[in-house]
Amino acid sequence: MERKNSIARVAAYFMRYRFLFVLNMFLALASTAFEISIPKIIQFVIDEIIMVKQIRWLWLGLSAIVTAYFMRDVLNYLRIRLNNVIEQRVLIDLRAALHRKLMHLPVGFFDQRKTGDISSRVTEDVLNVEGAILDGTEQGLTSVFTLLGIATFLFITNPVLAAFATLPIPLLLFLAKGHYKISRRNWKRVRRSAGDMHALLVEDISGHRLVSSFALQERERARFLGKAEDLKKKTLTAMYRWAYYSSTTRFISSLSMVAVLGIGGYQYVEGSLTIGELAMFLLYSGRILEPISRLNGLNNLLSAAKPSGDRVFEILDHEIKIENPPQAVPFPLSPISVTFKDVSFAYETRPAIMRNFDLELSEGKVTALVGRTGAGKSTVANLLLRYYDVDQGAVMINGVDVRDIDLTSLRSSIGLVAQEPFLFDGTIRDNLLLAKESAAEEELWQVLRGAHVQGFVKSLPDQLDTMIGERGIRLSMGEKQRIAIARALLKNPPLVILDEATSSVDSATESKIQEALENLTANRTVLIIAHRLSTVRKADNIVVLGNGRIVETGTHENLMRQRGEYYKFWRIQYDVVEEQPPAMSL
């Protein structure tokens, strides 16, 4: 569906609550009906009671006016309450749809976008477009109803004077059309700039420790102020345009009251218009401005909402290329072997990182990958987890193409321990139970024991119920890593991927993690992506990668005897040499 229909598509969410939506519109129209009846009642009171001196009926006339005001405001109160209910339901529906889509989008989507920009779409953009539709529909409907009601009363009473009172309307509608085109473009720039500023803010908050350690506070402050200044300029441009447009339309609308006063005053003097009718025309002329102003405001509201709607549906319409096949099969039974057969792959907008790549992970064995940065080590893990699909060839588990395996079954059967383990803001228990919701407390302590972190958890005042903060910020890197290993143990996967699991810790902590990893990898097929070569020394097979190809393979002892690439990496890492080759990530 085309992006130009984004506002109409959001409107479809309101139709889920069709009855409440229609009731809300009815209340708005009923309240407006009482509103536009008031000048007519005032005209009657002046002409039929005051001017003929029927004082005994004055209290009845005043009561009718008070009743009209009271009914207007009671109905408006009910409308506002119902409006809030509909608004919150639609906001939840839209945000839930966005979150559901984000959870199923491929890794490549997030690799190409800023986190802050994505989050601003779920919060700010959804709010903008939802408000524009609900408030806009209501404002548009009541404004048109008000104009039609006022015009009806005026033309029935005095067609000539009514023509002068409504004369500005066609001109105002013409101006609104031109304003919408320019305003939509301005607000699109505002939303893009707001997304950039939000992205930088999220980046600075998540990277606060790095900013502090490098004393980058002033640099980041300058960057943020630059983004904020850009947003301010774009917002002011949009607002200045609105200020010019709204002031111009108000002035044009006000001229109708001057015309009514002049021509109506002349007709009153001539005797063709009563004083009550003149008062009614003046009141209605003043009220003509309000619905026209609301329509003008609606114009600006829709101009701001259109870019937000486009940004929302850019996510909802994003193609999901990594999907379950129609006839998905479950993950194969243990023991597990993995085969990369004639694999070619390239990340989007980058040259091919693999060409005709072949690799075998033997069942129940530990296979380690080493190589320089960009050699393709992490790509092997990405393809195995099916974060990306191969361009050519196949990745197979026990002879079954991963593209034929149910995605949930595939990923729930692979245990991943990354270089920077991700822990949710919650308790240690909460993070462990992600692997197995039904796990008993004894099972939790068992895996913590296997990860060599039981003693640490027991020393905490709340033990398993200790809050660890966002991304586990209250724990050291080693503690986080061992809790991540415990979580993987609880998952009990037949296939394990260790992605540089000890590269960010000191040697003492590495030793504890290595002991935990030995428990995790026992009797499982394991793929190790290595940074420190000490972690791969006991591997059954070490594969050295270079430019997406296998340079050499063998055990640690065999490769050291060959004095090839692996031998050079080892010398660089553990020997003292006068001149080292360029830095590498192994």
Q: What is the DSSP string of 68-134?
A: HHHHHHHHHHHHHHHHHHHHHHHHHHHHHHHHHHHHHS-HHHHHTS-HHHHHHIIIIIHHHHHHHHH
Residue from 100, 83, 120, 111 nearest 195 by CA: 120
For residues 284 and 151, what is the distance between their CA atoms, to the nearest angstrom? Answer: 9
C-beta contacts of 101-107 below 8 A and 24+ residues apart: 101/315, 101/316, 101/318, 102/315, 104/320, 105/315, 105/318, 105/320, 106/320, 106/321, 106/322, 106/387, 106/388, 107/382, 107/387, 107/388
Give the model's confidence band at 78: pLDDT under 50 very low, under 70 low, under 90 confident, else very high: very high
Residue 12 has pLDDT above 70, yes or no: yes
Pairing, β 549-554 against β 541-546: antiparallel
pLDDT digits (tens, 9 = 90+) for 534-550: 778 788 888 888 877 88
Angle at 436 between CA 434 and CA 442, to 5 degrees: 110
Q: In the chain, what is the greatest distance between 2 CA atoms, to the nearest angstrom?
A: 120
Range 544-563 average pLDDT: 85
Q: How far apart are CA 12 and CA 423, in angstroms?
A: 37
Percent of the chain with pLDDT over 90: 4
Task: Taking residues 119-140, report their average pLDDT.
Answer: 76
pLDDT surpassing 80 at residue 231: yes
| Predicted pLDDT at 579 | 41
Report the distance separating Cα 136 and Cα 139, nearest Å: 5
Judged against a pLDDT cut of 90, whether residue 308 lies above it is answered with no
pLDDT, one tens digit per residue, over 480-533 is 878 888 888 888 888 888 877 665 555 555 666 676 667 666 778 888 887 777
Q: What is the pLDDT of residues 13-68, one digit of tens each?
A: 788 888 988 898 899 889 988 988 888 899 888 888 888 888 888 888 899 999 99
Q: Is 338-574 in CATH node 3.40.50.300?
A: yes
CATH 3.40.50.300 residue ranges for the chain? 338-574
Q: How far apart are CA 144 and CA 146, in angstroms?
A: 5
The predicted structure's pLDDT at residue 482: 80
| H-assigned helices in 470-535 | 477-491, 507-521
Quickly list H helices, 328-376.
none
Burial of 312 from C-beta contacts in 10 A (0-12 / 13-18 / 19+): buried
How far apart, in whole angstroms, are the C-alpha atoms of residue 478 and residue 378? Answer: 22
Q: What does the pLDDT look like over 283-295, one tens digit per residue?
A: 887 777 678 767 7
pLDDT tens across 316-368, in order? Answer: 888 777 788 888 888 888 788 888 998 888 887 778 788 888 888 888 888 88
H/E stretch holding 27 reads helix 18-45
Does the structure show a pLDDT above 50 at 577?
A: no
- pLDDT score for 504: 52
Contacts with 321 (C-beta within 8 Å, 6 or more apart), sequence order: 106, 389
> E strands, 214-269, where?
none
pLDDT mean across residues, the chain: 80
DSSP labels for 389-407? --SEEEEEETTEEGGGB-H
- Measured distance CA(208)–CA(211) in Å, rounded: 5
Average pLDDT on 392-410 reads 89
Query: Which residue, among 110, 133, 123, 148, has the nearest Cα to 33 in the 3D structure?
Result: 148
| Calpha distance 547→231 (Å, rounded) | 43
Q: Tally the residues of the chain.
A: 586
567-571, Cβ contacts within 8 angstroms, sequence gap of 24 or more: 569/370, 569/533, 569/544, 570/533
pLDDT of the residue at 512: 64
- For residue 1, name the pLDDT band (cuts at 50, 70, 90): very low
What is the rounded CA–CA span in Å between residue 534 and residue 530?
Answer: 9
If one counts every other C-beta atom within 10 angstroms of the C-beta of residue 472, the result is: 23
pLDDT, residue 137, reads 74
Tell which phi-psi region holds residue 526, choosing left (phi > 0), alpha (psi between -120 and 50) or beta.
beta
Residue ranges of the chain that CATH labels 1.20.1560.10: 3-316
Q: Mean pLDDT across the stretch 577-584?
A: 39
User: What is the rounded distance in angstroms from the CA atom of residue 128 to the CA atom of residue 144?
Assistant: 23
pLDDT reported for residue 529: 85
Can the peptide bond before residue 581 be classed as cis, meaning omega within 30 degrees of 0? no
Rounded-to-integer distance, Cα 12 and Cα 315, Å:
17
Burial 197-210 (b: 16+ CB within 10 A, else e): bbbbbbbbeeeeee
Q: Is residue 33 packed enough to be buried (19+ CB in 10 Å), middle (13-18) or exposed (0-12)? A: middle
The pTM for the full model equals 0.64
Domain 3-316: give its CATH code.
1.20.1560.10
pLDDT at site 578: 37
Phi/psi zone of residue 332: left (φ > 0), alpha (ψ -120 to 50 degrees), beta? beta
DSSP-derived pairing of the beta strands 495-499 and 392-397: unpaired
pLDDT (mean) for 214-237: 83
| Percent of the chain whose predicted confidence (pLDDT) is above 70 | 89
Neighbouring residues of 144: CB distance < 8 A, sequence distance ≥ 6: 291, 295
Task: Please state whether beta strands 352-361 and 366-371 pair in parallel, antiparallel, or not at all (unpaired).
Answer: unpaired
Q: In what order do the strands lie in the sheet with 392-397?
A: 352-361, 338-346, 392-397, 400-401
User: 361: helix, coil or strand?
Assistant: strand
Strands 352-361 and 392-397 turn out to be unpaired
CA 280 to chain centre: 51
- Distance between first and last Cα of the chain: 46
SS3 271: coil
